[in-house]
Structure 1
Amino acid sequence: MTERRVLLHTTRIPVRWGDMDAYAHVNNTIYFRYCEQARVEWLEQGGYMVSIDEDEGPVIINAACTFLIPVTYPATVIVRAYAGAPGRSSVMNWYEIGVEGDDRIYAEGSAKVVWMNHASGKSVPLPEALRKRVEN
């Protein structure tokens, strides 16, 4: 990690048998779900509900994942979510995915979170309390 990153949240997620693909490892699409779960937990712990029923809220405008070591069932993945310096309406998030009982990193991911007004579809400034959480 070259840029300053702040650890936001760590979560543990059991790997389900249905997460596996024909190659007998977790399907690539599931890694994005693991990162999504960590992101949603972090936001909701801060009081920000991820719901279209809210006037404003987070959306992601891009996502990436680099697969380093295959995860297989049975396992519990550990997802660590990090944030970089916030912009006006966005903050970059990074993820490290590991397996409980193993110190290696199995995958690395990222997503850019943008705060959006749901009615207009336009970006709005990050909530000040959220900005402070990622700056500290």
Structure 2
Amino acid sequence: MSEFGNLVDSIEIPLRWGDQDAYGHANNTVYFRFFEEARITWLDSVPMKTAPKGTGPIIIKTSATFLKELNYPATVQVRTYAGKAGNTSLESWYEIFDSKTGVKYAEGYAKIVWFDHETRKSTRLPDELRALAAE
């Protein structure tokens, strides 16, 4: 377990040339797309029972700490961590590293709430996710 929680997934994502801004480095919004891609890849890999009424994750809070500028060309490794679980929520943490050099570019956070799309209210976090959470 790391300072962020339990490592639950790791993926590699190439930086696209168009991800750069006018200053020649990855735009800050790209980091949030990396976090999102890592989160969706991880959640898709968890064998969960699906609810017939349509429940699923929504993000209610997210943040990033930018440590070093990211320049094209690059491929990043995004590590995803499951933090503490609440009744209806789960903390998720992210680290972005250069796949070749190991340089750390950013850290991120997102609070996931399990949401019932029919009732428009939060609902109990699935046991499959709760089991992955840090103590």
TM-score (norm 1): 0.90
Secondary structure (helix, strand or coil) at the match of 1:35 reads helix
Q: Which amino acid aligns with 1:12?
A: E
Secondary structure (helix, strand or coil) at the match of 1:23 reads coil
Runs of 4+ with >3 A deviation: 1-4
- Measure how far apart 1:2 and its partner are: 8.2
In the other structure, the counterpart of 1:126 is 125
Secondary structure (helix, strand or coil) at the match of 1:84 reads strand
The answer to whether the 8 A contact 1:86-1:131 is kept is yes
Give ranges in structure 1 of 5+ residues lacking alignment: none
Aligned length: 133
Q: How does 1:1-136 map to 2 (within 5 A)?
A: 5-47=5-47, 55-135=54-134
Q: Which amino acid aligns with 2:39?
A: R
- Measure how far apart 1:4 and its partner are: 5.8
Q: 2-side partners of 1:125 and 1:43: how far apart?
A: 16
- Measure how far apart 1:134 and its partner are: 2.6
Q: 2-side partners of 1:106 and 1:99: how far apart?
A: 7
Secondary structure (helix, strand or coil) at the match of 1:31 reads helix
The answer to whether the 8 A contact 1:3-1:84 is kept is no
- Measure how far apart 1:123 and its partner are: 0.5
Q: Which amino acid aligns with 2:17?
A: W
Q: Which amino acid aligns with 2:77?
A: I
Q: Which amino acid aligns with 1:43?
A: L
- Measure how far apart 1:100 and its partner are: 1.1
- Measure how far apart 1:119 and its partner are: 1.4
- Measure how far apart 1:82 and its partner are: 0.6
Query: Structure 1 residues 38 and 62 mapped into 2: Cα distance closer, same or farther (>3 Å)?
Result: same
Q: 2-side partners of 1:83 and 1:42: how far apart?
A: 10
Give ranges in structure 2 of 5+ residues lacking alignment: none
TM-score (norm 2): 0.90
- Measure how far apart 1:129 and its partner are: 1.6
Q: 2-side partners of 1:87 and 1:33: how far apart?
A: 25
- Measure how far apart 1:102 and its partner are: 1.6
The answer to whether the 8 A contact 1:8-1:134 is kept is no
- Measure how far apart 1:44 and its partner are: 0.3
